[in-house]
A and B are shown apart, each in its own frame.
Chain A
Amino acid sequence: MEIKIESKDDISICRVSGEITFSTSPDLRKRLIELTDKHIKKIVIDMKNLTYIDSSGMATVVEILQKIKAIDGELKLANVPDKIKDILEMVRLKDIFDIQESEEAALASF
């Protein structure tokens, strides 16, 4: 798993590639919590190059959504692969996330 974080104005874009698994999700959690701890209120997680996400990865994204909502911020997911959309639907998470078709669409939606 590789994580690249870029800031555009007041928005942080987190691009995750590879596989989020039980062993790699703690790294993602640490990087995202650093953002919410800094009170960054607008975060995009771009999943374009994400090949796999397990339950711990999904739970991590849910936790970040809880944290960002607690500071009146917004979290957007962009380029969510269909397979991952299916899993989000199965665990009934699809509707709690703001899912955007692309990074550009996510940035424009704030």
Chain B
Amino acid sequence: MFKKAKVDSEPVIEVRNLVKNFGGRRVLNGVNLKIYKGEVMVIMGGSGCGKSTLLRHIIGILKPDSGQVLIEGKDINSLKARELDKIRLKIGMLFQSGGLLDYMTIKENIALPLTEHTNLDKNVIDIIVNLKLSMVNMRGMGHLLPSEISGGMKKRAGLARAIAHDPSYVFYDEPTAGLDPVVAGVIDKMILDFSKKLSVTSVVVTHEMQSVFRIASRIAMLHMGEIVEVGTPRQIKASKSKLVQQFITGSPDGPISFSQLGDDYLTELTKK
């Protein structure tokens, strides 16, 4: 049922030595990552490790303090606006919350990338929207507003919008977070279907371990702003890294520490 995507030999996305600081705190600390055509690359890591920040750099929403993001060999941060637009047209993004506009129906939300970026006839756009709704098992629900559907449906509608313009690259920010296991399984299967049948390259940010091993062609483990390991699901499962093992088993004991230093705490409490 969950057949993995085939991987090409050339990297289509490359992150080189990416550094980003927020208010003096280093969030990404020299990230290097290659993503190949047709693969499902899962970036996993704990909350606040920099996963979503990395994703936002790859799609060009955030600019790095140093380092590069190359898509199809082009550094997206040195492209002119028109060239960047061309690259962005090849990108679809599923936001954590679905990212739907509340005042538009589901159909209008899905049609948005097509009405904004193509000269297609309205009839053709309507049919495309219905095709995409069918792909996410939401036929007949296009007239509803986002407030009238469940969280799982919002994710699926967001997915339909992410693929409305047939992007080459789809980025997913926590696609199955907060969903029940069956709906999560359905979303995972859709991600795999799009990769395999539509030749889409996927980058998925998640910490849902069941999803990680179900969909990944390769997995990159991000910890404290650094990629600590990259490998196939089998390689990651067999990893000798205590950090990786702690993360995939969800053990509270290990190098990923949640304890706070007592001295800092006392200083904070007694600070005037």
Interface readout for A38-57 with B: 1 if CB under 8 Å, 0 if not? 00000000000000001110
Given that A91-B131, A92-B134 are known contacts, is A56 also in contact with B124, CB under 8 Å in the complex?
yes
Q: Is the interface of B mostly helix, strand, loop or mixed?
A: helix
Given that A22-B118, A26-B119, A26-B121 are known contacts, is A90 also in contact with B127, CB under 8 Å in the complex?
no
Min distance, Cβ B164 to any Cβ of chain A, angstroms: 8
A62 located at the interface, meaning its Cβ lies under 8 Å from any Cβ of chain B in the complex: yes
A86 located at the interface, meaning its Cβ lies under 8 Å from any Cβ of chain B in the complex: yes
B20 located at the interface, meaning its Cβ lies under 8 Å from any Cβ of chain A in the complex: no
Q: Which one of B119, B123, B166, B193 lies within 8 Å of A55 (CB-CB)? A: B166
Q: Is the interface of A mostly helix, strand, loop or mixed?
A: helix
B271 located at the interface, meaning its Cβ lies under 8 Å from any Cβ of chain A in the complex: no
Enumerate chain A residues within 8 angstroms of B127, measured Cβ to Cβ: 58-59, 62-63
Give the top 10 A-B pairs by smallest Cβ distance, nearest first. A59-B127, A91-B131, A59-B128, A59-B124, A54-B166, A55-B128, A62-B127, A22-B118, A90-B197, A86-B197
Chain B residues in the interface with A (C-beta under 8 A): 118-121, 123-125, 127-128, 131-132, 134-135, 164-166, 193, 197-198
* A–B pairs, 14, beta carbons within 8 Å: A22-B118, A26-B119, A54-B166, A55-B131, A55-B132, A55-B165, A56-B124, A59-B124, A63-B127, A87-B197, A87-B198, A90-B193, A90-B197, A90-B198
